[in-house]
Amino acid sequence: MTDWLSLVIEFLIKALILLTLILLIAAAFGVWLERKVSAWIQNRIGPNRVGPFGLLQPFADVIKLFLKEDITPHAADKFFHRIAPVISLGVAFSVYAVIPFAEPFKYNDRLIYFSITTPDVNIGILFILALTSVGVYGITFAGWSSNNKYSLLGGLRSSAQMISYELSMGLSLVGVLLVCQTFSLQEIVQKQALWNWNLFYQPLAFIVFLVSAFAETNRAPFDLPEAEPELVGGYNTEYSGMKFGMFFLAEYANMFTSSLIIVLLFLGGWNLPVPPEWLGLQQGSFLLSLIQFCILIFKVLLMVFFFIWVRWSVPRFRYDQLMYLGWKVLLPLALVNLFVTSIVLYVLK
Does residue 204 touch another protein according to CB under 8 A?
Answer: no
- Span interacting with another protein, options 37-45, 50-58, 92-100, 187-195, rule CB under 8 A: 37-45
The answer for residues whose C-beta is within 8 angstroms of residue 128's C-beta and 6 or more apart is 95, 98, 99, 257, 261
Q: How far is the CB of 148 from another protein (least distance, A)?
A: 33
Q: Does residue 44 belong to the site contacting another protein (CB under 8 A)? A: yes
Cβ closest to another protein, residue 125 vs residue 331: 331
**42 touches another protein by CB under 8 A:** yes
181 versus 313: smaller Cβ distance to another protein: 313
Rounded distance, CA 55 to CA 49, Å?
Answer: 9
Kindly state the greatest CA–CA separation across the chain.
Answer: 65
Q: What is the DSSP string of 263-276?
A: HHHTS-TT--SS-G
Closer CB to another protein, 45 or 274, in the complex: 45
CB of 32 to another protein, least distance (A): 16
Q: Please report how close the Cβ of residue 163 comes to another protein at its closest, in angstroms.
A: 22
41 vs 97 by CB, closer to another protein: 41
- From CA 145, how far away is CA 78, in angstroms rounded? 7
327 near another protein, rule: CB under 8 A: no
Burial of 34 (0-12, 13-18, 19+ CB in 10 A): buried
Scanning 192-200, 249-257, 295-303, 308-316 for contacts with another protein by CB under 8 A, the matching segment is 308-316
Residue 207 touches another protein, criterion: CB under 8 A: yes
Among 75, 111, 287, 314, binds another protein (CB under 8 A): 314
Select from 26, 99, 107, 98 the least CA-distant residue to 269: 99
Shortest Cβ distance from residue 214 to another protein (Å)?
11
Contact 293, 114 (CB under 8 A): yes
H-helix or E-strand spanning residue 47: none
Between 309 and 319, whose beta carbon lies closer to another protein? 309
Q: Does 40 bind another protein (CB under 8 A)?
A: yes
What is the C-alpha separation between 337 and 224, in angstroms, rounded? 28
Residues 6 or more apart whose CB falls under 8 angstroms from that of 86 comprise 138, 246
| 44 vs 318, beta carbon nearer another protein | 44
For the four alpha carbons of 267, 268, 270 and 276, in that order, the dihedral sign comes to negative
274 scored as a contact of another protein (CB under 8 A): no
CA-based Rg of the chain, rounded to a whole angstrom?
21
Among 66-74, 109-117, 236-244, 307-315, the segment contacting another protein (CB under 8 A):
307-315
Give the sign of the dihedral formed by CA 106, CA 110, CA 113, CA 114.
negative
By CB under 8 A, name the binding residues for another protein: 37, 40-45, 207, 309-310, 312-314
